[in-house]
Amino acid sequence: MTTLTLSATSTPTSTQPSRNLLRDIRIVMTRELKPVLRDPFSLLFGMIQPLIFLALFGPLLSGSMGGTFGDGVWQWFVPSILVMTTLFGTSTTGANLLFEFQTGAHERMLVTPLSRSSLLIGRALKEMVPLFGQAVIVIAVMTPFAFDLHLGGALIGLALLAVFGVGLGSFSYALAIAVRKQDWMFWVVQQTFLFPLMILSGMLLPLETGPGWMRVASKFNPLSYVVDAERTLFSGDVLSSAVLWGWVAAIVTAALGLTVGIRAMLRSAD
Amino acid sequence: MSVVETLTEGEIVISTRALTRDFVVSRTETVHAVRGISLHVEPGELVAVLGPNGAGKTTTLRMLTTLITPTSGTATVAGFDVTTQPSQVRRRIGYVGQGNGAGHSQRVGDELVGQGVIYGLDRRTAKLRAGELLEALELKDLAQRKVSDLSGGQRRRLDVAMGLVHAPSLLFLDEPSTGLDPQNRANLWDHILRMREQYAMTIVLTTHYLDEADSMAERVVVVDHGEVIADDTADGLKATLAGDRLAVTVAPGNITRLSELAGKLPGAREVIAVGDEVSVRVADGPAALPELVAAAQRGGVPIAAAQVHRPTLDDVFLNLTGRSLREDSNGKAAR
Ligand SMILES: Nc1ncnc2c1ncn2[C@@H]1O[C@H](COP(=O)(O)OP(=O)(O)OP(=O)(O)O)[C@@H](O)[C@H]1O
Ligand SMILES: [Mg+2]
């Protein structure tokens, strides 16, 4: 048996009058990133999925409607895949929190002095990291295949996606908190929203050939603006109004998501 | 030196008045989980809260640790009101909940160090302390493991380690030793008690292990159906609420005679004759037994065998509620 004597130290930050929100956010974000970085294999695997989709869906797309695309199917489809990766990755992230509700890990965090909002913001911000990694891999693999990389536009495109992803991730966490007592509801609601959003954004198939009501509906879908903005940016056109609308959609999504998410987090103990 | 603000000596660490908590389960059903608990805990006390499943132990702890708000009543913890100043309370306490506090996809060491950092330790100190706790709770070889790969008992020890890493001056433990084998239980208690000494900790814990409450806690609070039904030292509870029991065997013909004599003992209660044995409850068994033997000898009743049974906390609970805590282990308390 060993003797336990914990190191006595001078009280470092002990009499801190108020806690620093940024420090709290960094702590939460670091904790969330640890499993991702510690397990690079799962990270790698997560990044291969979009490539598989790209490899299987891309050729079909160009085969069936090759004529519709001006400067090549990849130029049209690679931005779609990036948005799709964001959509899938961030909308499911609430499931991790749901699991922490069940084990008691979230309860443990709620009793610590970490501010409630940092618990949400830190988690939401961490979404950017795997998202960025996946995007870089997709771009790196696709650039040799008839995909023109415009670096400036691509970087702005990734920044826009990151902001949008933070918003979507927040919504996903808010959903997880709302349904924590009936956890099966999480996937029902997530799927119910995911597919209409995806199809009505023109992400996978162009809506120009679809019925009129679909085109009208897509105007109310924030994702449409993000998809348009990404395509415009990845074609190197940084100053188009589509880009501006994309930013508006992303920022509004992030602001709403964070608001809803933080409010949910404040009431997540009961 | 503790990271969290230390408490002033003499101050009441926990003070609750008529604390209640209802859960609205459905439109027609409301669970009264806690019904008016008033509790005062002084610095340095080690209080065990004992009660059957569903008695309201966890709910009480969750109110005291600011996780849920009371339906009515007030609670001051570490000098601050749990409802109006929850963040002040959180900074001064540690909590090991009934569930597992470590994230399943995390590594053992990361979670422990992270917990220290959350409470304001610098990374170096947090690492040092985490290392010491891992060593002490025999988790050292598991530091690099994922939490999901630990056994139940290993996970529980990690939970307690996380509760101790910032050496809080007030620590709440909800069934800390559940799922541990006897050796690890003893080891865990060793370290909890040692840290308590070193940091002048006040500890409030819940347990189902009667022997644990009996031997570790100086004070036992018995809770049933959301109410405190007894609150004293373990010995005090046993003396006032159960008492010792004498069991004396005689020849069958002498049973009535011996029962009479037993009834005359000071403070004698519950004289029961079964077969050739008479049993009687008395306040002080070791003193009453020679007295009964002498009286029997004077009365010409030869005694074949005699025993003193010291009461357990289960006897206390049985006397208070008419139910045994032991029989309760596989379900909710009978309502
Ligand atoms: N979130 C909740 N919603 C509804 N009812 C609850 C909730 N939490 C607890 N209860 C009910 O409140 C009562 C007290 O529960 P509590 O968890 O405090 O018991 P306990 O004494 O900790 O029991 P155990 O020994 O099983 O841990 C139980 O009847 C339980 O069903
Ligand atoms: Mg409990």
Question: Rounded distance, CA B113 to CA B195, Å?
Answer: 18
Percent of chain A with pLDDT over 90: 47
**Residue A208 falls inside a structural domain:** yes
Contact A246, A156 (CB under 8 A): no
Q: The tokens of A3 are what?
A: 């003797």
Which among B203, B205, B163, B198 is positioned nearest to B2, based on CA atoms? B198
Q: How many degrees, rounded to 5, is the angle at CA A105 between CA B96 and CA B98? A: 40
CA B99 to centroid of ligand 2, rounded, Å: 9
Residues of A in contact with B104 (CB under 8 A): 99, 103, 105
pLDDT at B333: 39
Spatial neighbors of B131 by CB under 8 A, at least 6 apart, are B140
Residues forming a β-bridge with A49: none
What distance in angstroms lies between residue B63's CA and the mean position of ligand 2's atoms? Answer: 13
Residue to substitute from B61, B77, B100, B127, interface A, most A β-carbons within 10 A: B100
Burial class for A131, CB neighbours closer than 10 Å (0-12, 13-18, 19+): buried
pLDDT of residue B242: 75
Handedness of CA B63, B68, B70, B75 (dihedral sign): positive
| Structural domain includes residue A139 | yes
Ligand 1 neighbourhood includes B55 CB (under 6 angstroms): yes
Is the Cβ pair A34, B136 closer than 8 Å? no
Whether A237 maps to a domain, the answer reads: yes
Residue B247, classed as helix, strand or coil, is strand
For residue A7, the model assigns a pLDDT of 53
Range of the domain at A262: 21-50+70-268
Q: Is the dihedral of CA A260, A264, A266, B2 positive or negative?
A: negative
Q: Taking CB atoms and an 8 Å cutoff, what residues of chain B touch A103?
A: 99-100, 102-104
Domain assignment present for residue A5? The answer is no
pLDDT over 60 (residue A5): no
B170-174 and B93-96 strand pairing: parallel
From CA A33, how far away is CA A169, in angstroms rounded? 14
pTM flag (> 0.80): yes
Chain A / chain B CB contacts < 8 angstroms: 129
Q: Identify all chain A residues contacting B3, using CB atoms and an 8 Å cutoff.
A: 11-14
Residue B207, strand partner residues:
B50
- What distance in angstroms lies between residue B32's CA and the mean position of ligand 2's atoms? 15
Report yes or no: B251 and B276 within 8 Å, Cβ to Cβ: yes
pLDDT given at position B38: 94
- CATH 3.30.70.920 domain extents, chain B: 243-310
Tokens linked to B147: 């939490």
Q: Is the CB of B37 under 6 A from ligand 1?
A: no
For atom 2 of ligand 1, the residue with the nearest CA is: B23
- By DSSP bridging, strand B46-50 and strand B202-207 are parallel
Question: CA angle, B43 as apex, B37 and B48 as ends, to 5°?
Answer: 50
Task: Choose between A26 and A147: higher pLDDT.
Answer: A26
CB atoms closer than 10 angstroms to residue A18:
7
pLDDT-above-70 percentage for chain A: 90
Question: Exposed/middle/buried for A239, CB within 10 Å: 0-12, 13-18, 19+?
Answer: exposed
Given a cut of 90, whether residue A245 has pLDDT beyond it is yes
Q: Distance between CA atoms of A25 and B64, rounded to whole angstroms? A: 26
Task: Please give the pLDDT value at position A226.
Answer: 95
Question: Is the CB–ligand 1 distance for residue B58 below 6 Å?
Answer: yes
Q: Residue A66: pLDDT band by 50, 70, 90 thresholds?
A: low
Q: Which ligand 1 atom sits nearest the alpha carbon of residue B56?
A: 18
Q: Which residues of A touch B31 (CB under 8 A)?
A: none
Report the chain A residue with the minimal C-alpha distance to residue B67.
A269
Question: Distance between CA B59 and CA B49 in Å, rounded?
Answer: 12
Q: How far is the CA of B238 from the centre of ligand 1 (A)?
A: 27
Residues 6+ apart with CB under 8 A from A263: A174
Of the CA atoms within 13 Å of residue B192, those in its CB half-sphere come to: 29
Is the model's pLDDT at A98 over the cut of 80?
yes
Give per-residue pLDDT as tens, A177-236: 999 999 899 999 999 999 899 888 888 888 877 888 888 888 899 999 999 999 999 988
B48: helix, strand or coil? strand
How close are the terminal C-alpha atoms of chain A, in Å?
40
Q: Say if strands B170-174 and B72-77 run parallel, antiparallel, or are unpaired.
A: unpaired
Q: How far is A108 from chain B (nearest CA, A)?
A: 5
Q: Is B65 in a helix, a strand, or coil?
A: coil
Alpha-carbon Rg for chain A in angstroms = 21
| Residue A182 contacts B where some CB pair is shorter than 8 Å | no
Give residue A203's Cα distance to chain centre: 16
Do residues A232 and A209 make contact, with C-beta atoms less than 8 angstroms apart? Answer: no
Binned at pLDDT 50, 70 and 90, residue A127 comes out as confident
The encoded tokens of residue A177 equal 């908190």
- What lies within 8 Å, CB to CB, of B77 at 6+ separation is B13, B14, B64, B65, B66, B89, B92, B93, B170
Number of compact structural domains in chain A:
1
CB atoms near residue B280 (< 10 Å): 26
At residue A152, does pLDDT exceed 60?
Answer: yes
The closest of B56, B41, B32 to B332, measured between CA atoms, is B56
| CB B51 less than 6 A from any atom of ligand 1 | yes
**Which H or E run includes A87?**
helix A73-91
Residue A41: other Cβ atoms inside 10 A: 7
Q: Which of B1, B91, B119 sits opposite A9 (nearest CB)?
A: B1
What ipTM score was computed for the predicted complex, to two decimals? 0.82
The strand pair at B80-81 and B170-174 is best described as unpaired
By the 8 A CB rule, do A269 and A107 touch? yes
Measured CA to CA, the distance from residue B159 to residue B177 in angstroms comes to 10
SS3 A179: coil
Contact across the interface for A111 and B66, Cβ inside 8 Å: yes
Give me the pLDDT at residue B316, please: 81
Q: How far is the CA of A118 from the centre of ligand 1 (A)?
A: 29
CATH fold, domain B243-310, is Alpha-Beta Plaits (3.30.70)
**A260-to-A173, A194, B71, B257, B294 alpha-carbon distances in Å:** 9, 18, 26, 79, 80
Decide which of A161 and A66 is more confident.
Answer: A161
Q: How many other CB atoms are found less than 10 A from the CB of residue B8?
A: 8
Which residues on adjacent β-strands are paired with residue B223?
B228
Distance in angstroms (rounded) separating the CA atoms of residues B117 and B104: 19
Query: CATH assignment of B14-237?
Result: 3.40.50.300
- Provide block-wise average pLDDT over 10 residues at a time, chain B (335 residues): 48 90 92 94 93 93 95 94 94 94 94 95 94 92 94 92 93 92 89 88 90 86 92 84 83 84 82 86 85 87 87 80 64 39
- Quick one: which of A266, A253, A235, A205 has its CA closest to A75? A235
**Cβ atoms of A78 and A138 closer than 8 Å:** yes
How far apart CA B224 and CA A224 sit, in angstroms, is 58
Q: Does the beta carbon of A33 lie under 8 angstroms from any beta carbon of chain B?
A: no
pLDDT of A71 above 70: no
**Which residue has a Cα nearest atom 22 of ligand 1?**
B58
Q: Mean pLDDT, to the nearest integer, of A39-55?
A: 77
H helix or E strand, kind and range, residue A63:
helix A40-65
